Structures are given as structure tokens and as C-alpha cells.
Structure 1
Amino acid sequence: MKASLLGIGVVSVLVGGGWARPQAQGSSRQLPVVDLDYELYQANSFNEDRKFYNFSNIRYAAPPVGELRFKAPESPAFDRSAVRTGSEGKICPQALPRWAGISRVWLTDYITRGVIPPSLPSPGDLSNPSGATLLSDPRQTEDCLFLDVLVPQDVYEKPTTRGAPVVVAFHGGGYTYGSKADLGDAYGLLNRSRVVGEEIIYVSINYRLGAFGFLSGPSFQKNGIANAGLHDQRFALEWVQKHISKFGGDKDRVTLLGESAGGGSILHQITAYGGLLDVPFASAIPQSPAWFPTTSPREQEDQFNDLLREASVPAGGGVDELRALPTADLQRANRRDVAASPYGFFKYGPSPDGFFVPADPKTLLNHRQFARKLRILSAHNTNEGLLFTPPLNSDADFQGWARNAFRYAQPAVLSYITDTLYPNRLDGSLGYRDQVARAALLISEAAFTCNTVGLSSAFSNNTYSYLFSTFPGLHGQDNGLTYYVPGQRYSGGGGDTYIADFPVNETAAFALQDYLVSFAANGKPDSAVDGVPDFPMVGEQARVLDVGNSAIREGRDPASNDRCRWWQLQLQN
């Protein structure tokens, strides 16, 4: 295995992105109280070593339970009877596909030795390190719409007239699992913002997941709000606009940060309502933005009916019957429904609804139906699709997998994908030498990398982008740099599926954190690390900052190709 130079610290490569956050150190000092109008919140802790306040588990919306289940978020109740401390952490109901327990069984051998098992391995014990532990987590509750605010001491106690830049982080997890607690220890970002020159405030949020947050379709939408999880995110961003100045923040310098489903969520926020409404943020950093472009009304309807069956709703029943179910029963149905997802997929995610999501984001970007006055820094990795690819040994295996993955595509379109875009040519000329790599490239481009190319193109390539090419370049691997803290070992959180440990290049981590926080502060990515290059704008030459094993250098985006132009035009529908 090829190690990065200067590697200190270890990153666990995970499906969907997410890292465990250690508890902040406590303090005996008097902790401040923020008046949010509807409630009073006291900082949960002050970290004496790191010098920041942690305001934990702030309610930003009413509990989405009872009649509010499957509806847009509403404002919290007015209750100033006590000072809240946010000591009790809560996460939204979680669900994992069965294949998540299979990928870790064989992928390490494939990555390090090129070994492909002759058949699909058994799932193994999902309780270690995710699986059953995640699904039985007692923090799970429908009453989960909370956020955290980390504020440097000087920003809070000595606020400037302008206020500090704000980074709002959306977690990943395939839109079915994860929480704000799984993003990582944000101290690395906060500390590098001090080095670069302007400290940031860091906000992380929960949003509804799986069937609770991403049901859609004609029947469901008669009495339910589609893409409720996206509405939750927007509601949290409006909360930031209203309240972040009370923490010392600048509401006009809000940057969204998210990887995988978090990055895909950001693209849906950029294209929300077809760009007809102002957006409550100024900049966006979508890393490996993920969603799969198979969201026809027929598919959405089938998905809704699958859940009704899993929930044992009688024939003729619908949203009202689901709304009346006890939480435990709906959670059970959601877990079973997601568990049966085809290999590499998570069953739920954003879908066109004619309202918040008028069409697939790539279509909206093509038609210039998006928020245009934004600054963009996007990212993708060299091997995004491998974590979501089953062990395939023949062209017949590949064709069968593709038919299942694109089961709603017209036969001619499916044939074009498998025989023209990704033909059975295993000589390396197209970037793959076996069926696994062939399928991984397809998934990479269909669900991840072409999304970043489409975004840059929509902004006339006046954007920034980095390519994470450090071996093995897996999806989520760069999160180890984004949330790097010296001496800290990252471990799987939020149900992510452990694959392997790879060393973290500290120089690259500090440089990347500098680029991210300086971009959030002033729209231009710079670094205080000696010897690293200026961050190029994408431009017509498709330039990217290549974060490689031994160096950070300027390069050309390999996703700027004819296949991505085909995906960008949404020709598969």
C-alpha cells in the first residue's frame, strides 16, 4: 500500500462520509446564554485548550411528529420557562442497506491485492463497527431537528461589526443514516481559520432521513411534503440567517460544506425552486456531491408502495395511515425497506417533486434555473464508485448489475450506457482493467464526479475545484483531511462501513483546511502552508488542484470528458 508523505494520523475510509467527534473538554467558567427569542440556550461547554464555546443540540424546528410527520418543518414552540443546555444528543431514525456489511468483507483485498471474490460474500456481522449498533442507538427519535454551533472565544466575546464567516455543515450517509455528530471534530477547521487570519463559526445540523425525510411521488404528495429532509436543511439555514449574529456571526458570509449526501444536498439547495427564490447562503463547498439520477414518477410511486407494504398498511391506505403509525413501527418498516436496497444504493434520496426540486439538479443547471450569485468550490475523488460496486467477474455480471441499477431506463438507453459509454474493453485504455473497475467508473461518473463538472459548467467555470487523488482515492477519504486534528485517529460514525485505514498527510490536511476556511471567509482559497500552489480557477481548461500522494499540484479534471457531458444532459431519462 502506498503511503502519503509526512503521514501522521490515520483515516478510516468509509461509505458515505462521517467521522466520530470527541467530546469537548469542560470548564468551570460561567457559560454564556444566548436569547433565541423562542428559547434561551446556554453553551454546553467551553474548551479551555481550544478556546471555543460549544452550543449543543439547539432546537431549530418543532418536533416533526404526529400531524407534522411528512410535513414541512415548522417553527419551534415559544418556551422561555427554563434555560436549555442541550446536554441530550438526538439523531434522526437511521437505516442501512444490507450490502453495507458486504463491501468491507472484500474491498480491502481488492484495493491492496486486486483480488475479486468469485461470488458475493455474506454480509457478516453488521454490529461491528456499524450495523446493529447504529440501528439500536437509543438517541434515535423523530424529534431530531437540532443543530450545534461552535464559536471561538474571541468571536463570541469580542464580536466585530461585520461578524465572523460561518460554515454550515450537512452530514453524508446516503440520505438514510448519519447525524451532525458524525461529521468530525471541527477543531481542525476552526484552528486553521486562526492561522489563515479570520476565525469561523461552525454549525452542523440534523435533517430527516430515509422514509421520514425523502418520500415522494404522486400518491404520497397528495397529503405529504416530498423531500422533507431538504426542507429541514433550508429551515435550518433560515435559522442561521435569523440568529447567527447573536453568536458573533455574519449572516451574509454563510458557506455550505458537505460531502456525499451532504454535497448532493448542497446542489439541491443551489437549484431549489428552480432558482426563483433567494438562497440563505453566499458560498458552497460540495465535496463528492451524491445522488443517483433515476427518479421518474413511476419509480417514486413504486418506492412509496414498497414502504406501505413493509409497514403493513392495508390496501387503499396511504399517508394518513403511515402518519398514524407508532414511531417504532415506521422505523422498523424504514429499516427493512432500506435494507433491501440494490447493491450500491440507499433506496431514498432527493427526487423531483415539482416544487422544491422542479427537476434533477443537472437539468436545472443546464437550463440556468439555479441561484447564480454564489461562489463555488467543489471536489471529487479519483475512485468514488468503488465503495458502491459489487464483486463482478464477467461481462454478464456487469450487464445484470447495470440492468438492476438502471431498471427504469429504456432498453436502448441501457445498451448505450453498457456498450458504448462503458464497453467491455478491459485493456486499460478507458481507465479499467476488470469488471469491478468498469462498474466503479460508471457509478463514479453517474452519481458523483459528473455532478461537479455540471456545477462548474453552469457557473461558466468561474469556480474552484480540487481532485483528491491520494491512494486509493475512495469516496469520503478526503474527509480525513477536512476534519484532521493532529494526533487524532478517525473512526467510523453514523453507520459508515469500515473499509481500511490509510495514513493522512498532515501537510496536505493543513493546506486543504486553509483553502476551505479562506474560501468561506473571502471567496478565494489560499493557504498559509509553505510551498503549496495557488488554487487555480477551473476555467476553460478544466483546471483542478490535485491533492496527491506526494504533492499538491495543478492538474486537469479527468471528469471533463464526453461521458460526463452525456450524463449532464440527462439523456438517460
Structure 2
Amino acid sequence: MTLAQNTLFLVLCTAVYAVNPTVILDNGTFIGSALGTIDSFLGIPFALPPVGELRFRAPQPNDPYRGLYNAGAFGPACIQQPLNLPDIVNPTALSSLTEILSALPTPAAEDEDCLTLDIVKPAGVTSESKLPVVYWIFGGGFEIGYSAIYNGSAIVERSLELGMPVVYVAVNYRLSALGFPAGKETREAGNGNLGFQDQREGLRWVQKYIAAFGGDPTKVMIWGESAGAISVAAQMLMNNGDTEGLFRAAFAESGSPIPTNTVESNQAIMDKFVTTAGCGDELGSSAVFDCLRSVSIEAIRTGINATPGLGFVEYTSIYRGWNPTSDGVTIPEPFLQMVLNSNIANIPLVSGDCDDEGTAFSLSNSNITTSSEFEDYITELCAGGNRIAVEPLFSAYPEDPTVGSPYDTGTKNNLTSQFKRLASISGDFFFEAPRRLFLQRIADKQPVYSYITKRMKSQPVLGAFHTSDLFNVFGPGDMTDYLIRFATTLDPNSGNTNVTEIQWPRYTLEGKKILTFLDGKVPLRIEEDTFRDEEIKTMTKFLLANPLP
């Protein structure tokens, strides 16, 4: 660089410093952006790029920062799983699913080098401010999603209005085959559930650096929705419930410890991926990963594209190709077994669901139109062909549309004679039954709060669908206030100055009180967590006796 170029560079840097917020980490200077009372620092790398020899390995901490960093733009999304629609014969189902897919934002850029996080903080805070930290983990079925989708500024702005300022952190993590490899080769290599490991490495970064952004590393709350909420549960289960001092509370929207199996249960999908990526000759040992590290990212993408995608766009319904699984290391046992063993972090928790979690996931199954087709489908999908095992589910979830999902809508919204039945069984399978089991194991040991949201119940076909509660948080809405108070005080009610807002009772085994979010003139109500009690008990018994095939 010439003397003139050096001079121009220094002048430009000085101009940037004059108008943009900066933070110094190690020997590196990060230049963010300001908007009113909010400062943002985006796309900060929290680990070494997981490429080349670091592909399919646990995340490695960054080297100390040096030099100048532009933190004014989001980093790239991690490699996404394509969404491929099956042949949907029902026009209403196709229309609804197309509407859902069109609402999903497409990342501006995808890259294997994607381990970055975003920080939004109140302007003017210092290392002495020691503000609570909300650590957001996005959802997307462990196959799609990225931090840039979500407006963290809405959370921070609302926290300022409440007089309870927080720092917002959102983390990117590896997805699909790159984040959740499967098969016996993964167990041998000890590299399972890499996406969960990425999330935890981000939490370690927060411990080291968040004070520079005004945050308190001792006041971190992990928070997620859908796959992000399942990730929250995973972080509570990892290391036999040892948080390593990385977080002190958890907030989980539509996700609990789901029924998982072992890495070997996904062997066929891993084999398909590996073979298509060009490494089929190495299957059978951990040496397959040496081959996968040597192929191009285009070959990796091709392999991923050949495997099943997100549940709501596949006939496999809510089942996905790249589920988290027990690998013997990061997740030593299937989730539900760990819940039964009570290897769970003893921290305050909020956990809740939407009322009609299963509707969106059942749109792709509108080809199932008779009771016999329903029974054959559930037998194969849920029990690997063991009809005796699933017989109790057939009677617990009858064909009667008035008891199906969307609930409390009578005979309406039944695309086929089996749609509301499918929606009910899938919603309880992956959401309601796991949540209730989880809370029953911990409610008398630690502070727990639970909710059900029935807002948007009038949405045709979908009702109070999966992800609908996000509108009430990033909106922001009244759930935002509870979340901020919980992150700040570990009690969603503490500091509430709104005398008209209802007090959220703690969930206990005796009372089982939950907060219900409603449309209409009465937006909040306290109810008992006993809805569909017999059905969910039947489902829970089935889940505990029948690991996913």
C-alpha cells in the first residue's frame, strides 16, 4: 500500500469511528452500527471457520482478534437444506403450504464458514453496565434457518421501555449433515451433534467477551424456538446437566427434549449422503470423514440435497432426515432417557407450545384420506411396522374431526377425513407429550413456568400453528415483556408495573397451572395443564416404549 493509500485508509477509518460505535476485543477493533438508542454488532466470528480439516469436527476457539473488523452486516447463513415439495393432491393443502414456504426468508448468502454471532445492545453501555444477556437460538428443523431472520432490536428496544435493558445475542450453528452427522461412523469418530457444540462454543465466547458490550456473563439466558427450543433442552441435558456456568436460565418456545434415537438409527440417510457426496467407498469406519473433508463444498451440497428435507414438505411429516441423536459423547443417551434419569440442568425454565403444533406438518400428508391409510402410515412411520405397538394411538386419536387439530374448531378445517387426526397426533408426538413429561420431571426441583398460545386460532386450516408465537415475541407483544422480566429477574412477573397484566403462576405437579394466550377481549388466562390428558398419557407411554425407528 502506498503512502497516499495509507493516508486515505486512516482518514476513512477516522470518519467511521466518528459516527459508528466501536468495541475492542483483544487487539481487534469492531465497528458496528447505530440506530437511535440501539447499537448493533453483526457477523462476529466466534470460532475458527469449520472448513477443510475442521469440517465435521468440534468448533475450535478463535485466535485472539487483531486489526479492524466491519461488524455492520450479518454473516452468511450456514449451508441450508433445500425444501422440496412432494406431489400434494389437495389444492387447499398445497395453497397453505405454498404460503408458508413463501414466507420463509431466503438467506442472501450461504457459506460453510458461518460460525458467527450478532449482538444488539443499548447505546452507551459499558463493561460496568452488567446487563442480562438473552442468547437466541433460531429454529428450522436443524436443516434451515439463520440469525439474520430475527429482529433483535425489537427485544432491546422493548427492554429499554420496561426499564430492564438487556443485551441480545443470536448465534449461527451448522445444520443438516454438516451439523448433525449420523451413522455408526459418527459414533466412532466422536463428532455427533456438532450444531449443539457450535451453540455451546458461542456461549463460551459470550463468557469471554460479552462484558465489552455491556453484558454480564453471569446473567445469560438461553432462548430458542422450535429446533432452537429443542437446542435449549439439549444444552440443559449436555454434560449430564452441567451448564459449565455458561447460562443461568432457559426460555423454550415450542420445543422440549424430543423422542430421539441413536446415531445408528439414521444410518440409511447418512449412507445416502456419503455415497452421493462421493465417499461411499469409505463407509464403515470413521475414515469416511477424512474423505468428506477432502471433497468440494459442491459435493457436500449434492449429498445433502439427496436426503430427506424438512418434515412439513415431506410425506414423512414431522420426521426429518437430520434429527439430533444420541452419540455417546455430546448427547450420551436418547433425550427421553436422559429426562427419566433426571440429568437436567437445575435452572429456572419457561417452556410452552402453540395449541395446533401439528397442522403445518400435516399438509404434505393430504394424500392420506382413509382410516386404513392413516393406520398403515402411523404404523410404518412411528413403529417401523409394529402394528401392535401403535394400536393404542389409533383409539386415542380417533377420526372424529371435532377432537382434532386445529382444536376447538368443530368440523371445520378438516382437509380430508384424516387431516385433523394427523395434526393432533403429530403435535402431541413432538411437542405436547415431550413438554409435559419434561416438566413433570423437573417442576418440583426448580422454578418452572409453562404456557399454551391459542392466538391466531382463526387462521384457516392451520389454527394456532407452529411458530405463531414468534409474532408475540419479536412483534413485540406481551410475551416479550414476560421474557425480558424472566431474563432479568428469573421471574416473569417480577418488576411488572402493569396492574392489568395477569400474574404467571409457577408450574407445579400439584397445580399444573399454565398461562394461556388468547385472542379477543381477554388476552390472558390461567388454566390447568390437563387438556387431552388421556391422549397425551397414551402418547407419552408410547414414546417411552418405542424409540424412533
SS at match of 1:466: strand
Task: State the partner residue of 2:487.
Answer: 520
CA deviation map 1:365-410 (0-9, x unaligned): 22111111x0111110110001101223211231233134225364
Task: State the partner residue of 1:231.
Answer: 197
CA deviation map 1:513-561 (0-9, x unaligned): 1111000100111344452211111122211111001221111224572
- Give the gaps of 5 or more residues in structure 1: 1-25, 111-122, 486-508
- By how many angstroms is 1:42 displaced? 2.0
CA distance, structure 2, for counterparts of residue 465 and residue 313 of structure 1: 46
CA deviation map 1:223-245 (0-9, x unaligned): 35100000000110111111111
**Which one of the candidate residues 280, 296, 299 is aligned to 2:246?**
280
Pairing of 1:329-344 with structure 2 (within 5 A): 329-339=299-309, 341=314, 342-344=316-318
- Give the gaps of 5 or more residues in structure 2: 1-14, 412-416, 458-462
Task: State the partner residue of 2:414.
Answer: none
- Between Structure 1 and Structure 2, the one with more helix by share is 2
Residues 1:274 and 1:408: Cα distance change in structure 2 (over 3 Å): farther
Task: State the partner residue of 2:167.
Answer: 201
SS at match of 1:67: helix
Task: State the partner residue of 2:504.
Answer: 535
Task: State the partner residue of 1:467.
Answer: 452
Contact 1:299 1:408 in 2 (8 A): no
Answering whether residue 403 of structure 2 is matched by residue 428 of structure 1, we say yes
Pairing of 1:155-554 with structure 2 (within 5 A): 156-157=125-126, 159-160=128-129, 163-182=130-149, 184-223=150-189, 225-276=191-242, 278-289=244-255, 293-317=259-283, 318-339=288-309, 341=314, 342-372=316-346, 374-389=347-362, 390-391=365-366, 392-406=368-382, 408=384, 410-417=386-393, 419-426=394-401, 428=403, 434-461=417-444, 462-470=447-455, 471=457, 472-485=463-476, 509=477, 511-526=478-493, 527-539=496-508, 540-550=510-520, 551=522, 552-554=524-526
Structure number with higher relative contact order (C-alpha < 8 Å, ≥ 6 residues apart) = 1
Residues 1:126 and 1:466: Cα distance change in structure 2 (over 3 Å): closer
Larger CA deviation: 231-240 vs 521-530: 521-530
What RMSD over aligned residues (CA atoms) do the two structures have, in Å?
2.9
Contact 2:505 2:514 in 1 (8 A): yes
- By how many angstroms is 1:424 displaced? 4.1
CA distance, structure 2, for counterparts of residue 100 and residue 513 of structure 1: 36
> TM-score scaled by structure 2?
0.83
SS at match of 1:399: helix
Residues 1:292 and 1:361: Cα distance change in structure 2 (over 3 Å): closer
Contact 1:224 1:319 in 2 (8 A): no
CA distance, structure 1, for counterparts of residue 27 and residue 391 of structure 2: 57
Question: Which is higher, the Rg of structure 1 or of structure 2?
Answer: 2
Residues 1:553 and 1:106: Cα distance change in structure 2 (over 3 Å): same
CA distance, structure 1, for counterparts of residue 31 and residue 399 of structure 2: 60
Contact 1:172 1:259 in 2 (8 A): yes
Contact 1:168 1:255 in 2 (8 A): yes
CA distance, structure 2, for counterparts of residue 427 and residue 175 of structure 1: 33
2:34 partner letter: F
Contact 2:127 2:215 in 1 (8 A): no
Residues 1:107 and 1:285: Cα distance change in structure 2 (over 3 Å): farther
SS at match of 1:219: helix
- By how many angstroms is 1:332 displaced? 2.1
Residues 1:52 and 1:435: Cα distance change in structure 2 (over 3 Å): same
CA distance, structure 2, for counterparts of residue 127 and residue 518 of structure 1: 33
CA distance, structure 1, for counterparts of residue 90 and residue 120 of structure 2: 33
Contact 2:47 2:62 in 1 (8 A): yes
CA distance, structure 2, for counterparts of residue 400 and residue 439 of structure 1: 12
> TM-score scaled by structure 1?
0.80
Contact 2:41 2:118 in 1 (8 A): yes
Contact 2:27 2:67 in 1 (8 A): no
